[in-house]
Amino acid sequence: MEGGVLVLIRFAEFYRGRGLCIERGEAQYVWDCSGRRYLDLHTGFGAAFLGHRNPYVVAELERQLERIMVVHTVFDTPARRHMLEELDGLLPDGLTRIFLLNSGAEAVELALKVAVAATGRGKLVALSRAFHGRTLGALSLTWGPKYRKGLEHILYPRVERLRPEDVSAVDKVIDEETAAVFVEPVIGEGGVIPLSNEFLRSLWSRCREVGALLVVDEIQSGFGRTGVLWAHSRAGVRPDILVAGKAIGGGFPVSLVAFTEEVHGRLWEGLHGSTYGGNPLACSAVAGAARAVKEDDVVEKAARMGRVFLELLADLLDGYRVVRDIRGVGLMIGVELRKPPGRVIKCMQERGVLALKAGATVVRLLPPYLVTEEDAEEAVKVMKECIGSLQ
Ligand SMILES: Cc1ncc(COP(=O)(O)O)c(C=O)c1O
């Protein structure tokens, strides 16, 4: 029985539930079904980086809902024109062709197709610890055995792995048969691991040498979260393809693939398509999110609050033996423990702060850019109490 009604249909349990019913959200907070407030540093795996119900996004969506919800991309729309205008100046230099899809994994699928179609090659390179999604093409690039279990035999076999930071293996693994190298500039699911500029540059220069495409997966790290608009830009590399999702729609389900005119020139009509991809509501959400980034100092705030979090967290390393490492860029932060992080995350939730796991041992914080110093102090206090109770 739920709410006095006999419910026969139940949701499939692919995720272990958190035992919490969330009813609404505003900015950096969510409220559970009994009205209790939580500080949200989970943000739906980072999707609500712009805060819940960001006013720029809500205004655009409301305006569009009044007009039309369904127009296929074969038709032009004011919503799409408006989005393209708003995105102007926000994408990496040279990536002037975009296509919208609905989820991160779908965007990775398109990037994969584009890379193979544009180069005529069939080998792909991805990193160990990489996470690129769970549809079959994307899953072939995803590293984690727990995601691939039972499916290995139907995954794409020509994916070779590079270890993060293994500059010495770059020339050997990336060769003339490589269509593309996929990389998260800050590895997210795999444990919050920022890659060095040196490593990212070595990937880029080897790709140029052998004619492979560099694909940066900024689904989690992108759109300001790391204190720059795109995390790869710190290394000064220029990808051929960018994949974005999560924050770009302010939480609305939309993803984006951007590529160069040169790559676009090698593709053909019919190579890809999607019923909902580029739908007018998605366009409006992206337009609103882009406006928020331009008008509300999102990038600067993320950079500043990232520093605040890292400073507040720093003494955890001295005071608590169970803490192995603290790392992060902007508002993508990981506290690595010497134990699985489940108990700490549960304890934090009980005390009103939502966090999430990364890799096998990391407590991950993905705060929205609107998080305040008081929020950060509260979150770190709660985290310390919870880690302390583990000792
Ligand atoms: C870097 C990265 N790539 C791809 C994905 C897959 O995105 P989605 O869950 O929207 O399919 C994620 C999701 O967490 C991600 O973090």
Q: pLDDT tens-digit profile of 241-284?
A: 999 999 999 999 999 999 999 999 999 999 999 999 999 999 99
**Backbone phi, psi, residue 73, to 5°:** -65, -10
**Closest listed residue to residue 223, CA positions, set 102, 87, 358:** 87
Q: Which atom of ligand 1 is nearest to the CA of 130?
A: 1
Which of 15, 42, 132 has most ligand 1 atoms within 8 Å of its beta carbon, as the pocket-test mutant? 132
CA of 190 to the centre of ligand 1 (A): 11
> Do residues 310 and 199 make contact, with C-beta atoms less than 8 angstroms apart?
no
> Is there an atom of ligand 1 within 6 Å of 45 CB?
yes
CA of 181 to the centre of ligand 1 (A): 17
Q: Which atom of ligand 1 is nearest to the CA of 103?
A: 10
Structure tokens of 100? 């919208």
Average pLDDT of span 125-148:
98
* Band of residue 319 on the pLDDT scale cut at 50, 70, 90: confident
pLDDT greater than 70 at residue 2: no
Structure tokens of 205? 């220069």
Dist CA 53 CA 58 (whole Å): 6
* Band of residue 55 on the pLDDT scale cut at 50, 70, 90: very high
Q: Which atom of ligand 1 is nearest to the CA of 243?
A: 3
pLDDT greater than 70 at residue 1: no
Per cent of the chain over pLDDT 70 is: 98
Where do you find CATH 3.40.640.10 in the chain?
55-295
**CB contact set of 98 (below 8 Å; sequence gap of 6+):** 84, 87, 91, 256, 257, 258, 259
pTM value > 0.85: yes
Residues 55-295, CATH architecture = 3-Layer(aba) Sandwich (3.40)
